[in-house]
Amino acid sequence: MWEVEIRGMASAHALLAGSVLVGSLMPALTVENSSVYGTHLVWLYSVSACIAVVNIAVFWLLGISPPTKKNTLSYKLSRLIRSCLYFLLSCLFFHTVVVLYGAPLLESALETFSLAVLLSTLTTLRCLCMLGPNVQAWIRVFSRDGAMSVWDTSLQITTGCSVVGAWLGAFPIPLDWDRPWQVWPISCSLGATGGFLTGLLAAPIWIRWHRKQLTYKLK
């Protein structure tokens, strides 16, 4: 039982990690003179889009998300609209938090918002795919001992890692090295992506390591 779930999750994570790679390579192949530093926003949106597509494909189409009771079209549509709304709200939330952390309010607002989009893709989108637009479920998963399945634990780990990665990515900014990756928001978005990849890698390993201690009550 454990082995099967962990293997499934590992392959899903491998797909996601691959999508990050594809997202990084795509601008290099299609757009001329593109580099991660120079045309950072292109890279950022390309990675976000790839992750989003793969996430939706893996979790929604393959049916890992909880089965819905009602199966009418209107219900599905309302869920879709609510999901989009939540995603937008989460972008705004991340934007606000980043500004509170000291990002300039008006200058380079586009860069700040792009970072917020990336962060939302890495965190909120996964929640939306796996839990649906259901705030109660989110609160349950992200409170202490709230995980009810392996997928919940992996969600906790990847989300935490992404946010912590972005947090750590802000540290090199005050250094006076004048490097191209110190420009706002490159170090933060790179940190978030790195954190996300670390989370993808760490989640199966961690769960496997702790499989004795992990007990999911309601399962």
Partner 1 sequence: MKLSSSVFASFCLITELLGIALFLRGFFPVPIKSSLSSKSKLSDLPAEPVVGSNPNSTKVPPPLFNRVVIVLIDALRDDFVFGPSGKRFMPYTRNLVESGSSHSFIAKARPPTVTMPRIKALTTGSIPGFIDVVLNLNSQALLEDNLLWQAKNTGKRIIFYGDDTWVRLFPKHFLEYDGTTSFFVSDYTEVDNNVTRHLDSTLKRDDWDVLILHYLGLDHIGHISGPHSSLIGPKLLEMDDVMKKIHTSVITTEAEGTLPNLLVLCGDHGMSETGSHGGSSEAEVNTPLVLISPAFPTKEDMGEPVVVEQVDLTPTLALALALPISQNSVGRLIPAVFEKASLREQLRYLHINGHQLSSLLRDSNPGFHKEDGYEQFQMAEKAHGSWMKLYVEGNTSEVLSNIAKKVLKQYLEALQAMSAALSKQLGKYDMYSMMVGMSLILQILVLLLLAMPEALSSAACVDLPLATTFVSLPFYLLVLLGSSVHVLVCTSSEASCYFCSLPWLLAFAGIIFSSALFCTLVAMAARRALKVDNKQTKTSSSEWTLTELDVLLLIGTLGHTLSLASSSFIEEEHQTWYFLLNTLCLAVFQDVCRKYFREKRRTGEDEESLLLLSTVEEKGASFSPVTELGVSADSEKWLALATPLLTLACCRMLRSLNQTGVQWAHLPDLSHWLNSGDHKVFLSLLSVLSLLLIFLLVQRHCSLVSKIALALGLLGVYSYRAAVGSVLFPWQHSAQAMSKGTGEAHFVYVFVLGILFTGVKDLLQSQVMSSVVDGRRLKSRGLWEVYSGMVLLVALLFRAHNLPTLACCLLIQTLMAQFIWKRLHYDAAQTTIMHYWFGQAFFYFQGNSNNIATVDISVGFVGLESYVEAPAVFLTAFSTYAGPLLWACHLVCYLSSERDRAVSLGHSSYCFALLRSIPAVLYIMLVTALRYHLFIWSVFSPKLLYEAMHTLVTMAVCLFFTFMDQDRTRRP
CB 140 within 8 A of CB 173: no
CA distance 47 to 26: 9
Site for partner 1 contains 170 (CB under 8 A):
yes
- H helices then E strands: how many in the chain? 8, 0
The interface region with partner 1, picked from 14-22, 65-73, 173-181, 206-214 by CB under 8 A, is 173-181
Instruction: Give 80 or 175: the residue with its C-beta nearer to partner 1.
Output: 175
The enclosing H or E element of 17 equals: helix 2-30
Q: Which of 45, 93, 113, 167 binds partner 1 (CB under 8 A)?
A: 167
Rounded to the nearest whole angstrom, what is the least distance from the CB of residue 195 to partner 1 in the complex? Answer: 15
| Tokens at 55, concatenated | 């996430």
Q: Which of 29, 105, 106, 110 binds partner 1 (CB under 8 A)?
A: 105
* AA identity, residue 124: T
Site for partner 1 contains 109 (CB under 8 A):
no
Q: Which of 67, 174, 213, 217 binds partner 1 (CB under 8 A)?
A: 174
Instruction: Give 69 or 144: the residue with its C-beta nearer to partner 1.
Output: 144
Instruction: Give 70 or 212: the residue with its C-beta nearer to partner 1.
Output: 212
Residue that the structure tokens 């970072």 belong to: 115
Q: Which of 144, 212, 217, 219 binds partner 1 (CB under 8 A)?
A: 144
Site for partner 1 contains 139 (CB under 8 A):
yes
The interface region with partner 1, picked from 21-29, 33-41, 174-182, 186-194 by CB under 8 A, is 174-182
Main-chain dihedrals φ then ψ at residue 102, nearest 5 degrees? 120, 5
Burial label for 9, CB within 10 Å (0-12, 13-18, 19+), is: buried
Site for partner 1 contains 143 (CB under 8 A):
yes
Instruction: Give 23 or 199: the residue with its C-beta nearer to partner 1.
Output: 199
CA distance 28 to 42: 10
Nearest to 17 by CA among 164, 192, 193: 193
- Residues of this chain that interact with partner 1 (CB under 8 A) are 97, 99-102, 105, 139-140, 143-144, 146, 167, 170, 173-177
